[in-house]
Structure 1
Amino acid sequence: MTSTEKDRENFLPGMKPVLELLEREPERVDMVYVRRGRAGAESSRLLDLCRERGVRFSLVGDDALSRMAAHAGHQGVIARLREASFMPWEDFLAQAANAPLPLMVALDQVQDPGNVGTLARTLFAMGGAGLILPRHNSAFLGPGARRSAAGALERLPITQVVNLSRAVKEARDAGFVTCAAQKVDDSMNPLTEKLPLPALLVLGNEDKGVRPGVLKHCECSLCIPFRRDFDSLNVAQAGAILISCFARSLEI
């Protein structure tokens, strides 16, 4: 099976099946694509359900729908399904301190599924408490993420939150030291300093970094020192180093 064919397994075409899924299990829907200009009572009901259930939707051209649906009849509507199951935030936070490595990793608008999958694989292997993803503007946890995770996405606790800034604050209030990966004057050197645990580590988008609204709830900053003049590491590489540094702190 090709990568394109695997991706198509995550699409549900057709007005009636998408409506039924939004009514019964909206948490399984990542995005709904609707033909631009489609009118009628069913279309209005579908868009109303998306708004009521907090499901993202996008108005697209018929050519885009045809590519997603291949030869299946889509009737102007296709839902993209989630593959990973999400733990409720309250349950996730309650169990995080009991992980072998009491470290939660929050991904602030990380878009690349491969990076998310690789981070899940690293965090699971090191005994981490799990991943926190914002509900909007996060990578789709479909085939690309699953291939990179090599089975970790099905075993690692993952939660999805509407407001990442609020979640970081709630973790801090619950006794977790909140840290952001960023370079500032008072950044800690994770290679030489013992890192605090239990902790929450925020990794940001490669272009924009961690957003200011999230940073305001972070108590410390971590920056990996480079030995050569080099631009940057991608989020999966930097995250793997920082997760390892937290794991090392258990042994010090």
Structure 2
Amino acid sequence: MAKAEYYYGVHSVESLLELEPERVLTLFTLKGRDDQRLKRILQLAEPFGVSVQQASRDSLEKLAGQPFHQGVVAAVRPHPVLNENDLDQLLKNDPNALLLGLDHITDPHNLGACVRTAAAMGVAAVIVPRDRAAGMTPTARKVAAGGAEKVKFIQVTNLARTLGHIKETYNVRVVGTMLDEKALPIHQCDLTGGLVLVMGAEDTGLRPITQSQCDYTVFIPMSGNLQSLNVSVATGMALYEATRQRQDSH
């Protein structure tokens, strides 16, 4: 059996029990904690016979890997890792899907925030490179606040090659966010239909090999001298514009 993953934080564990309770193996709760949020979690777990163990603050910190566990940690049966084949299947079923590509985002907090926004904006899948990028760690899941259970997380060997493949095979347009001379203000770019919106890394932006696969590049117009935003904030703004256009086109 694959090694258990650990989810921590009230939001993250509650969402998991609502959406995929069969994956929860054991709940560890802080000794002496007895409040409404915890009672709600225990109520959700009870019908599925989930084992519940009380634990010290130190024990929970070791399981979660950090002190910000909010007094609840779940040992969880891991999901199979999704890859290029799963992306193919998704696009065969829905060639008009909205996808989010993240080009070597390394901070799990930023990844979690992007996944949370993606789930809220109806993104079908988040696509990331397998190497030199943050994975769906317990920290990323905690920040995603339940979003990780609502959107597919697909890890690919080569992001640029994957973008080229889905363009050619499924006629998906690739739109990258960056400041260059050809970039359009995002609201002037058509973001309807099959689309992958690609966001660059926190410090370096889109790599040249990724830029080469973009059909269009766009930027978020800003006032004053501020030229860049945190990647998770920019992702939220860009996905909101895509969702707005897609709703208006129906």
TM tier relative to shorter chain:
0.5 to 0.7
Does 2:237 correspond to 1:238?
A: no
Aligned equivalent of 1:197: 193
Aligned equivalent of 1:151: 146
TM-score (norm 2): 0.64
Does 2:186 correspond to 1:184?
A: no
Identity %: 29
Aligned equivalent of 1:126: 121
> Separation in 1 of the partners of 2:203 and 2:227?
12
TM-score (norm 1): 0.63
SS of equivalent residue, structure 1 residue 202: strand
Distance 1:9 1:91, change over 3 A: closer
2:102 pairs, out of 103, 107, 110, with: 107
> Separation in 1 of the partners of 2:155 and 2:166?
14
1:161 pairs, out of 152, 156, 160, with: 156
Structure 1 stretch displaced more, 205-214 or 187-196: 187-196
State the 1:99 CA deviation: 6.0
CA contact (8 A) 2:130 2:157 kept: yes
Structure 1 stretch displaced more, 100-109 or 82-91: 82-91
> Separation in 1 of the partners of 2:202 and 2:87?
26
Aligned equivalent of 2:217: 221
> Separation in 2 of the partners of 1:240 and 1:147?
18
CA contact (8 A) 2:6 2:138 kept: no
The aligned length equals 178
> Separation in 1 of the partners of 2:193 and 2:207?
23
CA contact (8 A) 2:186 2:241 kept: yes
State the 1:137 CA deviation: 0.6
> Separation in 1 of the partners of 2:176 and 2:236?
14
1:89 pairs, out of 84, 96, 106, with: 84
Superposition pairs for residues 38-53 of structure 1, below 5 Å? none
SS of equivalent residue, structure 2 residue 186: coil
Q: Deviations over 1:66-106 (max 9, x none)?
A: x99x9xxxxxxxxxxx9664323222233247569721111
CA contact (8 A) 1:108 1:203 kept: yes
For structure 1, the residue ranges without an aligned partner over 5 or more in a row are 1-7, 11-66, 71-81
> One-letter code of the match for 1:241?
M
Q: Could you say what the CA RMSD is over the residues aligned between the two structures, in angstroms? A: 2.8
State the 1:245 CA deviation: 0.9
Runs of 4+ in 1 over 6 A off after TM superposition: none
> Separation in 2 of the partners of 1:9 and 1:195?
36
SS of equivalent residue, structure 1 residue 191: helix
Aligned equivalent of 2:132: 137
Distance 1:85 1:230, change over 3 A: farther
For structure 2, the residue ranges without an aligned partner over 5 or more in a row are 8-61, 66-76
Give the number of the structure with larger relative contact order, counting CA–CA contacts within 8 Å between residues 6 or more apart: 2
Distance 1:105 1:210, change over 3 A: same
